[in-house]
Structure 1
Amino acid sequence: MTSEPVVALPGNTSDLVSVLLACIRTERKGRLALVGGAVRDALLHQVNRDPHQELLDIDFVFEGSCFDLAQRLQQMLGRERLSHLQLHQNFGTAELQIDGLSIDLARARTEIYPAPGLNPLVEPGSLEKDLARRDFTVNAMAVLLQPDGRRLLMDPHGGQEHLVKRQLAFLHEGSVKDDPTRVIRAARYGARLGFRLAPEALSQLKSTLTEWPWTWRHGDPVAAVPPALGTRLRMELDLLLDQEPWPEALGLLQEWTAMPLLDPWLQCDSRLKRRLGWAVRLGLPAMAAFVAAASDPVALARRLQIPEQQQRWLEELIELRSWLLQEVISHPWAEWTALDWTQRIEAGRWSAEAVALAVLDNPPCRRSLLCWWGRWRHVVSPISARELMAEGLRPGPELGEALRQARAQLLAGMR
């Protein structure tokens, strides 16, 4: 621990720290520390001259009751400055918004993993133990906020050294075994910050995946999957695809041979990044496009518990792929008109999203599928129901058939 003033945060954080310290002095209970990305990024700015990162939220850890501290803050600041307060009893945390700045306040804790990949057992602990439970050394630093205003850097795991080297190092030998979501997190940070895995971290990753210490394997029932290979893995993947430079992040996962955490096929998929690029152009959710490239998209979707609507698209995609293989490939599809394609696709009742996902497969008939998705499905009858009724047709099956025939004539002349 050093006493140098290592962190200079932008904005009104100095005032925020003063308010928090005033509350601590009142009770004289527990230590308070700034943790997480704010510390890492501030040190990156100082050590490597990286530009200041925008602070979307700030994380504090407190050796005491976060609820008591939050309530004291509310009494001190009032609702005008503390505009949002939400307490999470089960986790011992609080979310606040003070002067427009989002703050996460958590009680210092220790974690024990009862088995690889399961959720950890959590108990209150010290700041030192709280830092020891984290993912990488560069995220296991804190700035201890002293009542007298001093800011002491806590770096018990050598995070500063890895910052200088721009490396991600796990905190202990069982980090990946305990929580494989840390691998996805490594790709996120690596892509965003330009970091690489430290040699010992890469060795741990590869040896752990080779050993596969988790009770669940590919092909086992989805209900038996541990959280760190299921829903928690999806949460990290969501962040990677939604908030990070995902082409670089996916490239890192393939470089590290880490894709088998999700699906073995994804490891050797040279078109994966191109597939997701097309998904963005077509307005498809990146997660659905990613899962569609797996050996068994439906099984992976259920394992990750992606939204049910996207699971239905993937189920339709499997049917559509089968139809394309059995029906289209064996027929002169190149001579089909817009009407031929439209009638066949709409007879299958496949959603537009399922067809768009099939486009990402890059089949021989890709252009025709893309034309249906982009143009042909939007074609409507050139004559309206009101006009047909004015000509004497009554509402009912005959009117509907007349509208379909008019639309079909229009499609028959399109290519």
Structure 2
Amino acid sequence: GLITKEIASRAVFHGLGGQKVKEYMITDFSTVSPDAPLKEIQDHIVGEGQKLLPVVDGGKLIGGITKTDLLRALHETPSFSPSPLYAKKKFITRLLEERVPPHILDLLRRMGEVGEEMGYRIYAVGGFVRDLLLRRPTHDVDVVVEGDGIRFAQAFGEKTGLKVRIHKKMGTATVLFPNGYRIDVATARMEYYPRPAAPPTVDRGPLKMDLFRRDFTINTLAVQLNPPSFGQLIDFFGAQRDLKEGVIRVLHSLSFVEDPSRIFRALRFEVRFGFQIGKQTQNLIRGAVKMGFVDRLSGARLFAELVLILTEEDPLPIIERMEEFGLLRVLHPRLSLTPFLKGLLRRVGEVIHWYDLLFLEGKYEKWMVYLLAMADPLKEKEVRELSERLALSPRHRKRLLEGRRRALRTMGTLGDMFQRPMEVYRLLSPLEDEVLLYMMAKATKKEVKKAISLFITQWRQTRVSLNGKDLQEMGIPPGPIYREIFERLLEARLEGEVETESDERELVRREFLPSHSKRPTKEKASTSTSP
């Protein structure tokens, strides 16, 4: 393996001086033989960005070549015609024009023009560029300024009439559009971590250092926006190669020591893009988990990463990887992906897919459905411990704990009762959609699943046509009787006794007006049969 002076110094700074070198050495690197031509050496050092190239003969290390050595050799070998020592300039202007909506592309060009006027270099960076090269939908745009990002954003806002929100502490700003769209602008900066898992200290720096502080090589791409070089792709760390090979790779071996939350992002990206986490990066994940760095993450940061995982299109493969790396126990010591829990999570995915295809009004929080399912095997006390570890807000803690209690209690009642629509309606109406979906996934009885399904798709949309004014016009004075009437009308709607407003009026006349036949007792009214 290889280890640099910088990594060794930072490891000691983080209190890892007693650890074995193998834990943090670079294991994914190229070597050459003593007879290798200069062209091969140049391809490794320049093309792959490898700072030190070991020379190996018969499995034995006999020397090393640095970029300085290569430059000196090329200078002293006039007959050798080298390739450019830095990658050729690559422009993706056509790709931008094909994949980016015209109004966004115009904004990016305008940003470049404003930056050029101010003497700043402006770049679109990160996920926007990554998704562009992957031909995936591009939504959020992050812009980095080699200069004063806040000053640039203010100037851009003045020239375009757009509102700008300033975040002085981090040297960032957000350009806000009337339709809700936003572009985040940041000053190019470098950062260092005062201790493992702690928030970073940030200072200004060049673009390369700004990109180096990012989590994975695939997120280190940039596109210049200034007019002379609009569309030029910047790749310092081999991101294009890793995108082509489908590899998730960290930029240095202390990445997970300094920010363990990157582990969860690695798992998300691996599943989302269908990539593989690189072998060395996997080893670094295991090392960070083994040494307890992930345990040092605050509950708030852990919860934020978990929510992102549980809102992915299919969280189950990510949860499987969390189990593989020993990350579920970080949430709670007794949490593990048993066959039962795996089956429940799979059914949650199926229920959510079914629910989404209904295109119902109103929103639900997908992550809460999955969290209820993940907490299912735990005891009440353990669920409270889980909510404390995740530092859930009082509202979310109440939703998790009470939602779980209500679900278990309601499912028992549903399974035992004769399921008349009105009884199901009364039982399920107080429950949030997240609890209903969790119950539907957990239910083993077909009758219970059917009752919840009918409630979601039909019964809870049932409305009574008459209102208080209508009842007054019919000669019924306001009072507690109104509640009884509306309850009876809703029951009649659900049971199929009435279908129109005229039917409702007739029922009110028959059962609630004194001039008509005697009102039936509740026992008599409840004998109507289910449609």
Which of the five TM-score ranges fits, normalised by the shorter chain? 0.7 to 0.9
The counterpart of 1:228, out of the listed 263, 279, 301, is 301
1:354-395 CA distance string (max 9 Å, x none): 344322222434444444555566678899888988998765
Aligned partner of residue 117 in structure 1, secondary structure: coil
Match of 2:153 in 1: 70
Distance in 2 between residues matched to 1:97 and 1:385, nearest whole Å: 45
1:10-66 CA distance string (max 9 Å, x none): 2557765664454445444x5443321343344x3xxxxx5x344434322222211
Distance in 2 between residues matched to 1:154 and 1:390, nearest whole Å: 75
1:343-362 CA distance string (max 9 Å, x none): 9837x965565344322222
Distance in 2 between residues matched to 1:144 and 1:160, nearest whole Å: 16
Match of 1:267 in 2: 337
The farther-off stretch of 375-384 and 54-63 is: 375-384
Aligned partner of residue 135 in structure 1, secondary structure: coil
The counterpart of 2:418, out of the listed 332, 336, 344, is 336
Match of 1:318 in 2: 404
Aligned partner of residue 197 in structure 2, secondary structure: coil
The counterpart of 1:7, out of the listed 83, 86, 92, is 92
Aligned partner of residue 165 in structure 2, secondary structure: strand
The counterpart of 1:276, out of the listed 332, 349, 358, is 349
Distance in 2 between residues matched to 1:233 and 1:358, nearest whole Å: 25
- On the 8 A contact 1:142/1:154 being kept in 2, the answer is yes
1:254 aligns with 2:320: yes
- On the 8 A contact 2:248/2:275 being kept in 1, the answer is yes
Match of 1:95 in 2: 174
Structure 1 residues 123, 310: CA separation in 2 closer, same or farther (over 3 Å shift)? same
Distance in 2 between residues matched to 1:370 and 1:363, nearest whole Å: 14
Distance in 2 between residues matched to 1:32 and 1:352, nearest whole Å: 45
Distance in 1 between residues matched to 2:318 and 2:218, nearest whole Å: 19
Distance in 1 between residues matched to 2:197 and 2:118, nearest whole Å: 39
Counterpart of 2:318, as a letter, is L
Structure 1 residues 6, 360: CA separation in 2 closer, same or farther (over 3 Å shift)? same
Match of 1:345 in 2: 427
Structure 1 residues 164, 322: CA separation in 2 closer, same or farther (over 3 Å shift)? closer
Match of 2:213 in 1: 133
By relative contact order (CA 8 Å, sep 6+), the higher-ranking structure is: 1
Structure 1 residues 412, 103: CA separation in 2 closer, same or farther (over 3 Å shift)? same
Structure 1 residues 67, 386: CA separation in 2 closer, same or farther (over 3 Å shift)? closer
1:387-412 CA distance string (max 9 Å, x none): 98899876545664566577463575
Instruction: Note the 1:119-130 alignment, pairs <5 A.
Output: 119-130=199-210
Aligned partner of residue 342 in structure 2, secondary structure: coil
* Cα drift, residue 328 of structure 1: 4.6
Counterpart of 1:254, as a letter, is E
Larger radius of gyration: 2
Aligned Cα root-mean-square deviation (Å): 4.3
The counterpart of 1:58, out of the listed 112, 135, 141, is 141
* Cα drift, residue 167 of structure 1: 0.7
Aligned partner of residue 374 in structure 2, secondary structure: coil
Match of 1:414 in 2: 530
Match of 2:440 in 1: 359
* Cα drift, residue 78 of structure 1: 3.9
The farther-off stretch of 153-162 and 91-100 is: 91-100
1:277-324 CA distance string (max 9 Å, x none): 313534642111011012355655565567866654433333224535
* Cα drift, residue 138 of structure 1: 1.3
Distance in 2 between residues matched to 1:87 and 1:350, nearest whole Å: 41
Structure 2, unaligned stretches of length 5 or more? 1-85, 357-363, 376-381, 492-521
TM-score (norm 1): 0.73
Structure 1 residues 181, 397: CA separation in 2 closer, same or farther (over 3 Å shift)? same
Aligned residues: 384
1:33 aligns with 2:100: no
Aligned partner of residue 85 in structure 1, secondary structure: strand
Structure 1, unaligned stretches of length 5 or more? 45-49, 218-224
Structure 1 residues 161, 354: CA separation in 2 closer, same or farther (over 3 Å shift)? closer
1:208 aligns with 2:307: no
- On the 8 A contact 1:95/1:103 being kept in 2, the answer is yes
Structure 1 residues 111, 235: CA separation in 2 closer, same or farther (over 3 Å shift)? farther
Aligned partner of residue 439 in structure 2, secondary structure: helix
Structure 1 residues 366, 25: CA separation in 2 closer, same or farther (over 3 Å shift)? closer
Structure 1 residues 152, 391: CA separation in 2 closer, same or farther (over 3 Å shift)? closer
* Cα drift, residue 182 of structure 1: 2.4
Aligned partner of residue 128 in structure 1, secondary structure: helix
Distance in 2 between residues matched to 1:25 and 1:399, nearest whole Å: 71
Q: Percent identity?
A: 23
Counterpart of 1:39, as a letter, is V
- On the 8 A contact 1:314/1:354 being kept in 2, the answer is no
- On the 8 A contact 1:317/1:355 being kept in 2, the answer is no
Distance in 2 between residues matched to 1:186 and 1:155, nearest whole Å: 20
- On the 8 A contact 1:184/1:236 being kept in 2, the answer is no
* Cα drift, residue 168 of structure 1: 0.8
Match of 2:500 in 1: none
Aligned partner of residue 134 in structure 1, secondary structure: coil
Counterpart of 1:40, as a letter, is R
TM-score (norm 2): 0.59
- On the 8 A contact 1:40/1:138 being kept in 2, the answer is yes
